[in-house]
Each structure stands twice: as structure tokens, then as C-alpha cells.
């Protein structure tokens, strides 16, 4: 049967390529992981540090920059977010004193986010608990060879979603 033929259509007719049993089970497990893991990470960070997972990721991305500064568009890309969502979160983080926004000189509406000392202190305080939760939920629960496969799978799917961006 052709790859695009549906088993319940007459020969030669095309239709959706329905998922087989193994494909459906893999998809359902991946969908559940994508939907539930961020919430589990969010719950730990909120309980221990008063941060959402997304806020933590923004602070962490900035903390990894040599000068703790990055353009908002680059942070959005690194955190797999829209610029609009990032702007709302940056406003909240700025109000808490964790970052400040600065206009980039020149043409265009480019803005840098700069991690403050208080923001660095916050991400440093949050990191141990976050890493412990990541280890508990994923890293220590999955054999090393499966982690390598998970990385390859993630990189492959992300490349299809956004070929220009990568991980």
C-alpha cells in the first residue's frame, strides 16, 4: 500500500497517513512529556523560589552570557518563546529588580536585557533545586544511552520545527 494511502480507503485513493499502534503510543508519550514536564518544573521553582520555569530560563540564559547581557530577540529564541511573551516576563523581572532593559543604539527597536546582581543571586539560589528536580524527573530516571537518543530526537524535531534556529 502506498505510504499516503489510508487502509480504509479504496486502492489508489489517498488520505491521511494514520499512526500505527507503536507510532501512536510514542506520540502520546511524547505529547504527555511535553505537556507535563514544564508544569512539574514550574511547581518546584514557584514553591522554592517564587519563579516560573520560564522566568528561571530567562535568568539562566542571561547568567550564561559573559557580560550578563543579551538582546531580547536572542533570549526569546533561546527560551523557545515569542518576543511578546518575553516582554511581559521581562517587565515582571525588571519590577523585581532581577533584570533591566536597555535600548540598543542605532536603527531599529532592539532591546538588550541585562541581568542585575539581584537577578544573578536569584538564579544562583534557584539553580540547585531546579537541577535536583531535573535530575529526579529525567536525567537520573533515564539510562545514559536513552538520554543520548532523547537529545538526538529533540534536535531532529526542533530542526524540523525551526530549521534556522537549532537547539
Q: Where do the domains of the chain lie, and which CATH numbers do they carry?
A: 51-161 (1.10.10.10)
Residue 147 grid cell: 538520554
pLDDT less than 50: residues of the chain = 1
What is the four-CA torsion angle of 81, 84, 89, 94, rounded to 10 degrees? 130
Residue 1 confidence (pLDDT): 45
Q: Taking a C-beta distance cutoff of 8 angstroms, is the pair 137, 37 a contact?
A: yes
Residue 166 confidence (pLDDT): 54
Say how many Å lie between the first and final Cα of the chain, rounded. Answer: 36
Residue 164 confidence (pLDDT): 80
Amino acid at each position: 500500500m502506498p505510504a499516503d494511502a489510508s487502509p480504509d480507503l479504496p486502492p489508489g485513493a489517498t488520505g491521511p497517513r494514520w499512526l500505527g499502534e507503536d507510532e501512536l503510543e510514542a506520540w502520546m508519550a511524547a505529547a504527555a512529556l511535553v505537556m507535563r514536564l514544564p508544569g512539574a518544573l514550574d511547581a518546584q521553582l514557584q514553591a522554592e523560589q517564587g519563579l516560573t520555569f520560564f522566568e528561571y530560563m530567562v535568568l539562566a540564559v542571561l547568567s550564561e552570557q559573559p557580560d550578563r547581557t543579551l538582546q531580547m530577540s536572542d533570549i526569546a529564541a533561546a527560551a523557545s518563546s515569542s518576543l511578546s511573551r518575553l516582554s511581559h516576563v521581562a517587565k515582571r523581572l525588571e519590577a523585581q529588580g532581577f533584570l533591566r532593559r536597555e535600548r540598543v543604539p542605532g536603527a531599529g527597536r532592539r532591546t538588550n536585557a541585562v541581568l542585575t546582581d539581584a537577578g544573578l543571586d536569584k538564579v544562583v539560589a534557584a539553580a540547585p533545586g531546579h537541577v535536583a528536580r531535573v535530575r529526579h524527573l529525567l536525567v537520573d530516571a533515564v539510562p545514559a544511552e536513552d538520554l543520548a537518543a532523547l537529545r538526538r530526537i529533540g534536535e531532529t524535531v526542533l530542526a524540523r520545527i525551526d530549521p534556522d534556529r537549532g537547539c
